[in-house]
Every structure is written in C-alpha cells, then in structure tokens.
Amino acid sequence: MRNAKLMLCATVFMALLAGAMFTDSVPTTAAADQKAPVGDHWRHHDGHWSYWHDGDQRWYYTDGSHWFYNDGSAWKVYGFDKQFGRDRFERGEYKGPGEGAKIEAPRHGYYRAPGK
C-alpha cells in the first residue's frame, strides 16, 4: 500500500511538472511571433534599443552622440540622408562626424524576425 501511494504521488508530481513546462513555453513563443510590430517602431534586442524605419527598411541606433544604421552586415555612421526624420522630426544642430573622425561603431546585433 505504501508503494502504491508513493507511485501515485510521483506520477501526479511528474504530470504537474510536465504540464507547467508545456503551458509556459508554447503560448509565449507563438504569441511573440504573431505580435511583430508593423511600421516604424523601437525594439530592445541584444541589450540595446534600435529603431526600425519602414521607409528605409533598415535599423537605426544611437549611442547618444552619433546615429548609426545597419546595412545588413555592419553598423555604419548615419548622416541623415534617406527618409528617416522627414516626418514628425524636429531638426536640431546634429551634424555627422567629419572626415577622419575616429568613431567606434556598435558591435551588437539587431532583431531578425524568425524565418527571415
């Protein structure tokens, strides 16, 4: 009788543990894939905030002093020459760094949607 109770308790415990593992991981992954933002948006990835501009179809990042864009392989200094900032953007006194300025480009990645 004691062995039967022990087996029953072990079975119930394993079932609860397995149920908790499946209910926590499956819906959150599926929900994250379905709720991808559309249009211009910010995303926190790899410890940094980056901005997706739908008009240019690329990611932007600022370190607080300079702006960078990602061309698909590396981050490059951005001089505000495309569509970014043409609408709803207050232009200030920012000027891209001059020729020969030593700037260390970011090394972090950017978000890539699953399957792309």
Q: Confirm whether pTM is higher than 0.85.
A: no
pLDDT in tens, 70-92: 888 888 888 776 565 566 656 66
Contact 63/50 with Cβ under 8 angstroms? no
Cα–Cα nearest to 112, from 43, 47, 63, 23 = 43
* 76, 102: one domain: yes
**Percent of the chain residues topping a pLDDT of 70:** 66
Structural domain boundaries, residue 104 = 38-116
When divided into structural domains, the chain yields a total of 2
* 28, 52: one domain: no
* 52, 28: one domain: no
Rounded Cα distance, 19 and 23, in Å = 6
pLDDT in tens, 10-24: 787 777 777 766 665
Q: What is the 3-state secondary structure (H, E, C) of the chain?
A: CHHHHHHHHHHHHHHHHHHHHHHHHHHHHHHHHHCCCCCCEEEEECCEEEEEECCCCEEEEECCCCEEEECCCCEEECCCCCCCCCCCCCCCCCCCCCCCCCCCCCCCCCCCCCCC
* 67, 52: one domain: yes
* 52, 31: one domain: no
CA distances from 9 to 1, 18, 23 (A): 13, 14, 21
Q: Which residues contact 85 (CB under 8 A, 6 or more apart)?
A: 91
